[in-house]
Amino acid sequence: MVTYRATLDVPADLVSWLENLIATRRSETGGSWRALTSYDQAVMLLVWFAKGDTFAQLAAHFGVCTDTAWRYVNEGIDALAVLAPTLDGAVEAAGPERRLLLDGTLIPTWRCAALATETNPDPLYNAKHRDHGMNLQALTTTTGELVFLGQARPGSTADITAARACGIIEAVTEADVETTADSGYQGAGGTVRTPAKRPQGKGLNGWEKRANTAMARLRAPVERAFAALKRWRVLERVRISPNRITSLLYAIFVTHLKRSSLARA
């Protein structure tokens, strides 16, 4: 086996913050002797987020067994996930303009036959992307700052269905927050604004085309938010259980927010 040194592209303050978070969780849960310090566990988690290594690779690098690497990573995920912003907080982040952007994306995963049902033998398959994954709904500000992530749902779930299941449409409507979305949310109602729909057998008139173009410009920042989230390479192809993907996304979301706040400080 060949070993090598590598540098993790994260600020030292982020590692220190995560180290303290993990140390606090350890003191709350108790337990016996640990194979790694809180600092090493924090670095292990960030390496997994940033590099997407397998648990066997993590174990070899940190000198622990694969099961221990898996347990330490999941412990760190749980410590971070509980800090994820709530939907109420996201609505408050709309600010005085009372505007947000809504969109969904696919988080690629391996196919999981365990989720198959009689009515849907391949629930993770997304026909639009022609790939397996989980549907992730997100709210951002008009400048593209991520403020809320919904629960991850099987990739075959339509965007509008996933948004309703997460309570997003109901929440923004009750708070009177105008929310711009793409054509996948047509029919959502409430305060959700979508592009004009082309009548069957007809085309759009001039003002409808101009309105759709203007709305596309307004929606553009949400793509930057997804791009920033997916910079963490573990999301390139998630290899853990689909039941753990929501917690993973929340943990990465919290890490992303903390890293952004440290960069602004």
Per-residue pLDDT at 67 exceeds 90: yes
The stretch 228-247 carries a mean pLDDT of: 93
Residues 255 and 189 in one domain: no
The stretch 71-75 carries a mean pLDDT of: 94
The answer to whether residue 164 sits within a structural domain is yes
Residues 108 and 205 in one domain: yes
Residues 185 and 250 in one domain: no
Q: What is the pLDDT of residue 201?
A: 64
Structural domain span for residue 21: 8-82+237-265
The answer to whether residue 2 sits within a structural domain is no
Confidence of residue 153 (pLDDT cuts 50, 70, 90): very high
Q: What is the DSSP letter of 56?
A: H
Total tally of structural domains belonging to the chain: 2
Q: What is the pLDDT of residue 196?
A: 76
Residues 20 and 71 in one domain: yes
What would the pLDDT profile of 131-152 be if each residue is shown by its tens digit? Answer: 999 999 999 999 999 999 999 9
The stretch 215-240 carries a mean pLDDT of: 90
The answer to whether residue 73 sits within a structural domain is yes
The answer to whether residue 1 sits within a structural domain is no
Residues 212 and 103 in one domain: yes
SS (H, E, C) 94-153: CCCCCEEEEEEEEEEECCCHHHCCCCCCCCCEECCCCEEEEEEEEEECCCCCEEEECCCE
Residue 22 has which token pair? 């993990």
The answer to whether residue 146 sits within a structural domain is yes
Residues 166 and 190 in one domain: yes
Residues 244 and 187 in one domain: no
Q: What is the pLDDT of residue 96?
A: 83
The answer to whether residue 3 sits within a structural domain is no
264 three-class SS: helix
Residues 35 and 117 in one domain: no
What would the pLDDT profile of 74-129 be if each residue is shown by its tens digit? Answer: 999 999 999 999 999 888 888 788 899 999 999 999 877 767 777 778 889 998 88
Residues 91 and 213 in one domain: yes
Per-residue pLDDT at 199 exceeds 80: no
Report the distance separating Cα 42 and Cα 36, nearest Å.
10
Q: What is the pLDDT of residue 4?
A: 66
In terms of Cα–Cα distance, which of 132, 131, 155, 144 is closest to 103?
144
Residues 172 and 255 in one domain: no
